[in-house]
Structure 1
Amino acid sequence: MATTEETKENAESYVAELQKKVTDAFDIFDHESNKTVDVRYRGNNRRSLGCCPTEGELHDILAEIEEEEPTGYIRFEKFLPKMTKILLERRYKPSPEDQLLKAFHVLDSEGKGYLTQEELTKYMTEEGEPFTQEEMEEMLSAAVDPDKGTILYKDYASLMAVEET
């Protein structure tokens, strides 16, 4: 059995590891290297950390970390504690692979085992919470089989799923 001191050290080590992940993800989108990120990258930044909040949840997070006078930028010193807390609480986790496959099966009403680029674009931009053009392009670049021009969703679902660590 671990001692209280070992448990505390393990917890501190885990928090430090999470903070490094958050810092690394932030730095990717900090194009000016000035510890700020354009709010337009807010979704990409969180998804790179394995968080998949809805657009409404993103707005709520942004409201908590944005400056009093909105500047269009998120400052690192506000982002780090908020994202560390979200990761510690394991909030906004992506769907597991089996749920993603079920969703794709619903979209593939003919049972072909794939979706066309046009079908996926229609579903992702016209149904539910629509993807932005940038999100759609990012998804298609990762999902479309370049030889067939289709999305073999069984393969793509495994790429989208994030394993619990």
Structure 2
Amino acid sequence: MAEDKDSAEAIVAEVHKKISGAFDVFDHEFNKTVDVREIGTIIRSLGCFPNEGELHDVIAEIEEEEPTGYIRFEKFLPTMTKVLMERKFRPIPEDLLLQAFEVLDKQKKGHLELEELTKYMTQEGEPFTQEEMEEMLSAALDPDKNVIFYKDFVSMMTVDDPR
């Protein structure tokens, strides 16, 4: 029985380490707080992909009684630990994500033009903000060819599920 307890503690410790690492990237003042606008990015960097409503609920849960525009690590940690342990907001499987990009790639070129992707992402469905678009393009855009090789981007975006 002690081994089970040790292994559970090890899993929680590993989850805490992951959460802390992701949070620290955005803790620019090194004071264990981040801008509330970064929470979605932090959560996504942990392999969780809530929709806007779910993200809003998470923020409401971890925000101070009087919203300050900042989220404290001590409030973020228990909520995100629960989210990760319960495997909530799981990502869309890689093959489905790839299919979505292939639908957009009508000529089957294996890539999307910058303008094409921007148009799809900002004018369809739940539109991306300018900031979200820039963030995505900073990772997705091939700097030499100025196009998005979506197969590479999809494999970069998807996380191997360790379990």
TM-score, normalised relative to structure 2: 0.94
Q: Distance in 2 between matches of 1:17 and 1:145?
A: 33
**Contact in 2 for aligned 1:96/1:162 (Cα 8 Å):** no
Q: 2:7 pairs with 7, 10, 26, which one?
A: 10
- Aligned partner of 1:43 in structure 2 is 40
Q: 2:110 pairs with 98, 108, 113, which one?
A: 113
Q: 2:81 pairs with 79, 84, 101, which one?
A: 84
What residue identity is the alignment partner of 2:28?
H
**Contact in 2 for aligned 1:19/1:80 (Cα 8 Å):** yes
1:62 aligns with 2:43: no
**Contact in 2 for aligned 1:26/1:76 (Cα 8 Å):** yes
- Aligned partner of 1:74 in structure 2 is 71
Indicate the percent of aligned positions where both proteins have the same amino acid: 69
CA distances 1:140-164 after superposition (whole Å, capped 9, x unpaired): 1221222222111122111111110
What residue identity is the alignment partner of 2:8?
A
What residue identity is the alignment partner of 1:98?
D
Q: Distance in 2 between matches of 1:114 and 1:63?
A: 38
Q: 2:130 pairs with 124, 128, 133, which one?
A: 133
Q: Unmatched 5+ residue regions in structure 2? A: none
What residue identity is the alignment partner of 1:82?
T
Q: Distance in 2 between matches of 1:138 and 1:62?
A: 20
CA distances 1:46-89 after superposition (whole Å, capped 9, x unpaired): 11211111121110100111111111111111100000000001
- Aligned partner of 2:28 in structure 1 is 31
CA distances 1:24-66 after superposition (whole Å, capped 9, x unpaired): 2111111112211110101111112111111211101001111
What residue identity is the alignment partner of 1:47?
R
Structure 1 vs Structure 2 CA RMSD: 1.2
Shift of 1:112: 2.2
- Aligned partner of 1:104 in structure 2 is 101
- Aligned partner of 2:144 in structure 1 is 147
Q: What SS does the corresponding residue of 2:107 show, helix, strand or coil?
A: coil
Residues paired across the two proteins, number: 162
Q: Distance in 1 between matches of 2:67 and 2:154?
A: 37
Q: 2:120 pairs with 114, 119, 123, which one?
A: 123
What residue identity is the alignment partner of 1:11?
A
Q: Name the stretch that deviates more: 44-53 or 115-124.
A: 44-53
- Aligned partner of 1:158 in structure 2 is 155
TM-score, normalised relative to structure 1: 0.93
